[in-house]
Amino acid sequence: MKDYADLLLLLVAVSNLYIVATSRLNSCVRASAIQGAALALLPLVLWTSGFNVQLFHLAVICAGTLAIKAIVIPILVSRAIREANVRREVDPSVSLHSSVLLAGLLMGISFWMSTVLVLPRPAPTMLLVPVAFATLLTGFLVLISRRQAITHVIGYLLIENGVFIFGQTLAREVPFAVELGILLDLLVGIFVMGIAINHISREFDHIDTELLSTLKD
Amino acid sequence: MLEIVIHIALLILFPPLLLGLINKTKSWFAGRTGPPLLQAYFDIAKLLRKGAVYSRTTTWVFRAGPIVSLGSVLSAGLILPLASNVAPLGFTGDVILFAYLLGLSRFFTMAAALDTGSAFEGMGASREAAFAVPAEPALFLSLAIVCIPAKAASFQAAWDALPWALWGGAHPAYLAAAIALFAVMLAENSRIPVDDPNTHLELTMIHEVMVLDHSGPDFAFILYGSAMKLFIIAALLVHVLLPIPEHLSWTGVILLCLGEAALAVLIGVVESVVARLRLTRVPQFLIGASVLAGIGLAIALYRGAA
């Protein structure tokens, strides 16, 4: 079972690339839903054959992740897209070509980082740490290089996904309950962001964050 | 001896069938009967019987184009193992020659297109060159991925060292290489997300525009050469995906043929369900494939180091 974890992590890496490469907001959301589903399977694949985790906890965390990351959050985000009438295309300040190259570079950096980093215990599978870092960094890339508020939500999601993957290395120390708490926080965060974006778009006629930097007293 | 005969027979006889399979799949999706499975063979035979017309503005480059490009693809097919791990002309470093032979074939197609002096063909050549640039790293990096476990730059060593337990999930690097190679296969053979093989007179086409002035046997060589290129890159992919036996046996031949046929059907499905990419999006598709192959390379190196 553990062998399939690397394939799942490769899927996560590919969806990172896709999120950075695609020009459509909806496919961004869909890719993040797929990534969420892959993440939901990850603990199941990693720990069922490993040490004795209580199977009940495992099932709860998987079902919770699947429900929240693969279903609820994508629905919330796409609802926000629909209701706030944002443009259906991502609005990058760095061209899509160079964002893909940057994402590849970040992937390389995360491979390098994972060889340098000393972990309290070896990671359960080879790709876990590099992909965790890559997802985290890709999240930052999305946050920095996209103009629309909706894409920032996806950036935050990617960062949380990276933290989730990295959390798997500490699964023995950190109880899954903590992970569930984080998941709930995230859901509330996205919920609030969705509502905020809705309100902003009702007050103003766009949600272009670029214009925030021109604000003066 | 027998191995060489079977290798060459496969290489020479099989490729046009792939085109037939792709077209059958596409017609099945469209609800048509479609051309017969062996149509590409008929086309080639018909074209070979015809005479060729040469414009007065062209030089020997135009005449050499189809021959050199077919010849280099054929040589590439001779250094790539097909139904076993052994190729007739395999040697250390053949991986690099393989990639460059494909490059040579493309170069001569482009040179012949430029030689006609037609602005239209020049535009096609420029596009082909522009899209070859991001496709080449994907090919090279995928080849590097398959060569790294063997620590030798030859196909035979690479396939000998290829672990069969690919679908045990132990080798995400090979999966990355396979996806990147599939993208390269679509791009190199001017298939749909990159180029449309059916549009003969549209401003968006790439490969077809370059061969507009070729006629008769020359065009037959081009048609045959592109079928063979498809066959060769698909064979590369089949080797990554399926456990082809080390020595020549019927299992190997059957696995190869089935794998090739399955890939042809897959290409047909992709062509039927995916829309052609906008020209500005094509490099992005190929850069994505290259980056994915780069990730695979990082995984392969990381696994080697760990």
Secondary structure of chain A in HEC code, one letter for each residue: CCHHHHHHHHHHHHHHHHHHHCCEHHHHHHHHHHHHHHHHHHHHHHHCCCCCCCHHHHHHHHHHHHHHHHHHHHHHHHHHHHHHCCCCECCECCCHHHHHHHHHHHHHHHHHHHHHCCCCCCCCCCCHHHHHHHHHHHHHHHHHHECEHHHHHHHHHHHHHHHHHHHHHHCCCCCHHHHHHHHHHHHHHHHHHHHHHHHHHHHCCCCEHHHHHHCCC
Pick from A3, A9, A10, A131 the residue to mutate for testing the B interface (most B CBs within 10 Å). A10
Backbone angles phi, psi at A208, to 5 degrees: -80, 115
**CB contact A184 to B (< 8 Å):** no
| From A97, A127, A130, residue closest to B284, measured CB to CB | A97
Mean pLDDT is highest, among A48-52, A58-62, B17-21, for B17-21
pLDDT tens for chain B, 306 residues long, are 888 999 999 999 999 999 999 999 999 999 999 899 999 999 999 999 999 999 999 999 999 999 999 999 999 999 999 888 888 888 998 999 999 999 999 999 999 999 998 888 888 899 899 999 999 999 999 999 988 888 888 999 888 887 765 555 557 888 889 999 999 999 988 888 888 877 766 666 788 888 888 999 999 999 999 999 999 999 999 988 888 888 888 888 999 999 999 999 999 999 999 888 888 888 889 999 999 999 889 888 887 654
Backbone angles phi, psi at A92, to 5 degrees: -80, 145
- Name residues 81-140 of chain B within 8 A of A (Cβ): none
Judged by CB atoms closer than 8 Å, whether chains meet at B287 and A130 is answered as: no
Q: Give the ipTM.
A: 0.76
Strand partners, B121: none
Q: How far is B297 from B174, CA to CA, in rounded Å? A: 9
**CB contact A9 to B (< 8 Å):** yes
Q: How far is B26 from chain A (nearest CA, A)?
A: 26
Judged by CB atoms closer than 8 Å, whether chains meet at B291 and A130 is answered as: no
| From B287, B294, B302, residue closest to A126, measured CB to CB | B302
- Using alpha carbons, list the distances in angstroms from residue B61 to B105, B107, B112, B115: 13, 11, 6, 7
CB A147 within 8 A of CB A92: yes
Judged by CB atoms closer than 8 Å, whether chains meet at B169 and A13 is answered as: no
Domain of residue A103: give its range: 3-214
SS3 state at B270: helix
Q: Which residues of A touch B295 (CB under 8 A)?
A: 10, 13, 17, 104, 107
Domain count, chain A: 1
Judged by CB atoms closer than 8 Å, whether chains meet at B298 and A7 is answered as: no
**CB contact B291 to A (< 8 Å):** yes
- Using alpha carbons, list the distances in angstroms from residue A86 to A157, A206, A208, B123: 19, 7, 9, 37
